[in-house]
């Protein structure tokens, strides 16, 4: 091929690369819209304003887990410990509150514990060269074991601040509807403070990942670690940092779980690390690293929420079908990713 032909081909390749990066997210958006349309046709009020907000409210502690997992997967790693760390955060919060600690101190303590466990994961992966799967699997057993050492049963939380977070509603707007008999009904559409916190975590992660030097380094490390080292990037520090962020997000999820249930549960979050990975993959993040979007992970959480909503609206639907649907979607998006990467 002549030099002129090579030069002409480069812009086309760059354009296709950009198209390939956004294609999986576009598929996720189309899938989410299709599921919402199907739900609205099958069940009344499936897509009402309150029902859509409830998708977030009922999955509010999954969103921070997916956000932290996005950082880790983009960097080329994986974190299997986030579900156990979420449970540990809720148990620590309930135990310390029961012992008389103030709510602000407990919140800081839970976030620090999550960050320290994330730091442990990062050190094992970066400095000791342990495979992320093995390192975070060990941390998962460690965190789950600590939960059961502290307590083997759920601990109720009666702290006024946590009780307020459990029951508080933030009214957004009113919806007026008229039934077949001509009776006018006015209902409030509301959300919870926990949803606001989860969205704040999402927006902060979006800004860090896409508009900061650290975020660009995360992409570079996941894309090609050797090249990132040759370019003088702080690869080890970056890999440690993404696991710290994942641990911090797991701590936030533990607090949101404690707000949502007003309790700490040592067996909470079992399988949530897999749900978080599924949400990230469905949201278009490449499991091989180097490509991904934190807003895509948000869409992945919504897709999972819609799947679980089908079960809630249809009481006769077997719970196992929700897991089957999630498995099929994850396999589908992995195949799509593979085809896109190969074509690129």
Of residues 60, 89, 78, the one with CA closest to residue 268: 89
Whether residue 161 is predicted with pLDDT greater than 60 in this model: the reply is yes
Q: For the full predicted model, state whether its pTM sits above 0.85.
A: yes
Write down the pLDDT at residue 186: 52
pLDDT band at residue 152 using 50, 70 and 90 as cut-offs:
confident
Can you give the residue ranges of every domain in the chain? Answer: 22-343
Q: Give percent of the chain above pLDDT 70.
A: 87
Report whether 255 contacts 78 (CB < 8 A): no
Average pLDDT over residues 228-244: 91
Minimum mean pLDDT among 12-21, 253-262, 297-306: which range? 12-21
Give, to the nearest 10 degrees, the angle between helix 103-126 and helix 82-98.
Answer: 150
User: pLDDT digit string (tens) for 4-47?
Assistant: 443 444 444 444 445 556 677 888 899 899 998 988 888 888 87
Q: Give residues with Cβ within 8 angstroms of 269, minimum separation 6.
A: 82, 83, 84, 85, 86, 87, 253, 257
Write down the pLDDT at residue 107: 96
Write down the pLDDT at residue 58: 85
Write down the pLDDT at residue 6: 38
Triad 342, 234, 228: Cα angle to 5°: 30
Of residues 197, 80, 198, the one with CA closest to residue 142: 80
Write down the pLDDT at residue 46: 82
**CATH number, domain 22-343:** 1.10.3470
Whether residue 62 is predicted with pLDDT greater than 90 in this model: the reply is yes
β-strand pairing of 155-156 with 184-191: unpaired
In a 3-state reduction of DSSP, which class is residue 162?
A: helix
Adjacent-strand bridge partners of 169? none
In terms of pLDDT, which residue wins out, 118 or 225? 118
Average pLDDT over residues 298-321: 84
Whether residue 195 is predicted with pLDDT greater than 80 in this model: the reply is yes
């Amino acid at each position: 091929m002549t030099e002129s032909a090579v030069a002409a081909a480069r812009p086309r390749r760059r354009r296709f690369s950009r198209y390939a990066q956004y294609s999986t997210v576009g598929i996720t958006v189309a899938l989410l819209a299709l599921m919402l349309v199907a739900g609205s046709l099958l069940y009344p009020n499936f897509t009402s304003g309150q029902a859509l907000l409830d998708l977030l409210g009922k999955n509010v502690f999954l969103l921070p887990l997916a956000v932290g997992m996005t950082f880790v997967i983009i960097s080329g790693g994986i974190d299997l410990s986030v579900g156990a760390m979420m449970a540990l955060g809720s148990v620590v919060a309930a135990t310390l509150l029961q012992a008389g600690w103030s709510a602000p101190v407990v919140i800081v303590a839970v976030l620090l514990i999550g960050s320290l466990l994330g730091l442990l994961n990062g050190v094992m992966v970066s400095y000791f060269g342990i495979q992320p799967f093995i390192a975070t699997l060990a941390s998962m057993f460690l965190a789950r074991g600590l939960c059961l050492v502290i307590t083997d049963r759920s601990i109720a939380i009666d702290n006024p601040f946590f009780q307020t977070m459990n029951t508080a509603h933030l009214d957004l707007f009113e919806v007026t509807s008229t039934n077949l008999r001509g009776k006018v009904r006015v209902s409030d559409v509301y959300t919870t403070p926990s949803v606001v916190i989860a969205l704040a975590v999402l927006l902060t992660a979006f800004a860090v990942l896409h508009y900061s030097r650290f975020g660009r380094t995360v992409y570079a490390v996941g894309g090609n670690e050797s090249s990132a080292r040759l370019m003088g990037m702080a690869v080890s520090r970056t890999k440690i940092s993404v696991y710290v962020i994942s641990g911090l997000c797991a701590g936030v999820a533990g607090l949101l779980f404690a707000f949502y249930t007003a309790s700490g549960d040592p067996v909470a979050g079992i399988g949530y690390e897999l749900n978080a990975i599924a949400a990230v993959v469905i949201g278009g993040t490449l499991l091989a690293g180097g490509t991904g979007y934190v807003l895509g992970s948000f869409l992945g959480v919504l897709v999972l929420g819609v799947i679980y909503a089908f079960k809630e609206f249809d009481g006769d639907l077997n719970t196992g079908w929700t897991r089957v649907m999630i498995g099929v979607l994850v396999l589908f998006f992995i195949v799509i990713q593979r085809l896109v990467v190969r074509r690129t």
